[in-house]
Amino acid sequence: MSQVVVKETSPLEALSQPSNDISISVRSGEILVHITKLSVTANTVTYSLVGRHSLKTFEHFPVPNPKYASVPAWGVGVVTSSKNASVPVGTRLQGYYPMRKHIILTPSKVKRKQFEDTASHRAALIPAYRTYRMIQQPATKDQEQMENLLLTDALLFSTGWGCAQQGLEMGGNTILITSASSRTSLTAAFSAQHHKMFQEVIGVTSARNVTFVKSTGLYDTVCTYDDIAGSLGYKDGRKVVVYDMAGNREAKLKIRQHFGEAVVDYASVGQTTVSVNDANPLGRGMPVDANGGAKEKGFLVFHALAAASKKYGQNRMASMLTDAQKAYCVWKLPHFQTMNLYGVEGLLRVWRDTVDNKALAGISYMCSLWETPEDAEPWTFNSHL
């Protein structure tokens, strides 16, 4: 079967590593999942950059050759062979998948229409990334679009919501979000506006995405990376919380120089800005805080949600998050746009455009390793082996 892998020595170079089709043996308790589609976003690129570091994302789907790693992405699959009575053939699953055509999972006991993959090599990894949710097969185009929206923006919503909640907890009255056109940034800005958390929501973006970012109406102020000082000016009493989705060293320096001691929280969330010329792309995320303010630290949504749960109580926190996410979907769905691509070359094209910051803002790319829409969706539950 085919899979897309990344060189560990250069995690920005995606390669196709075809192998001969072989018979996949499903053992007792296991299921074979036909991966129908994957959402490829800037978040996916971040997963590759931290693959052997903080999130250990490469460890979810190991490959035989240690020089390579299988990039994970959020996606949808259909069970085409099962030796697990709780997850029969035809079950549609939303979750974390490798860039392959198939994957074997070993489900735990199904609770509330979801289960964890209990494969031994994933046992110590973050549970959210090995949890799979049973979903309905879309019957109409509108239902398919809602499935895509839930797969892309909605899956990242808790991260954006967590950013806004952490900013409020840290005493900020101004939230600044880099890579303002990205999904996580949009969900953070929406959450901040939805809950009326801050006096000002600032979005920093590239010049090519300014029009799109302004069109969302989620930011009080929008500026480019090149004009941070000129656009933002100075306001007395600002307490700025920064949620950095870009990981751009030059932008970090400009933000620090402009706000200095007014920065009360600076969290590194993602790395949407990537340079293929960097020998070590992760090095671009090193702190640039010589101008004072809070020290930079990594952001983990699980810690932010735990803090919110302690503050509000688990039930109220869950209700607040759910209500905000539903409101976001209502806001986003009317102008939610997707582009479907099939085959290795299509996926690689989206990958390269995303890495090079050439992907179209406002477009959600749904990719499949299968060559045609008919093969991607196994309507007859044919595993294509």
| Domains, in order of start, for the chain | 4-137+337-376 (3.90.180.10), 156-328 (3.40.50.720)
DSSP 316-369: HHHHHHHHHHHHHHHHHGGG-EEEEEEHHHHHHHHHHHHHTT-SPTTEEEEEES
Can you give the pTM of this predicted structure? 0.83
The Cα 270–Cα 44 span in angstroms is 10
DSSP 152: I
Using a 10 angstrom Cβ sphere, with 0-12 exposed, 13-18 middle and 19 or more buried, the burial of residue 212 is middle
The whole-number pLDDT of residue 276 equals 40
pLDDT in tens, 135-166: 999 989 999 999 999 999 988 899 999 999 99
Q: Regarding beta strands 72-82 and 92-98, do their DSSP bridges make them parallel or antiparallel, or are they unpaired?
A: antiparallel
- Is the alpha carbon torsion for 181, 184, 186, 192 positive or negative? negative
The whole-number pLDDT of residue 205 equals 95
Give the closest residue to 84 by CA, choosing from 22, 36, 38, 134: 134
122 and 60 in contact (C-beta within 8 Å)?
yes
Establish how many alpha carbons lie within 13 A of residue 281's alpha carbon, considering only the half-sphere containing its beta carbon. Answer: 26
**3-state DSSP helix/strand/coil percent for the chain, to nearest 5?**
40, 25, 35
282 and 49 in contact (C-beta within 8 Å)?
yes
Supply 158's token pair. Answer: 């808790």
The whole-number pLDDT of residue 23 equals 58
Give the closest residue to 215 by CA, choosing from 181, 243, 175: 181
Is 22 strand, coil or helix?
coil
The whole-number pLDDT of residue 295 equals 93
Give the closest residue to 77 by CA, choosing from 381, 347, 385: 381
The whole-number pLDDT of residue 244 equals 95
Give the closest residue to 160 by CA, choosing from 192, 134, 127: 192
The whole-number pLDDT of residue 45 equals 87
Supply 275's token pair. Answer: 């340079």
Mean pLDDT in each 10-residue stretch from start to end of the chain (385 residues)? 40 34 77 96 86 85 89 95 95 96 96 97 94 94 93 92 97 97 95 97 95 97 92 92 92 93 94 54 54 90 95 97 96 94 95 89 94 84 46
pLDDT in tens, 285-323: 455 676 789 999 999 899 999 999 999 999 999 999 999
The Cα 96–Cα 93 span in angstroms is 10
125 and 54 in contact (C-beta within 8 Å)?
no
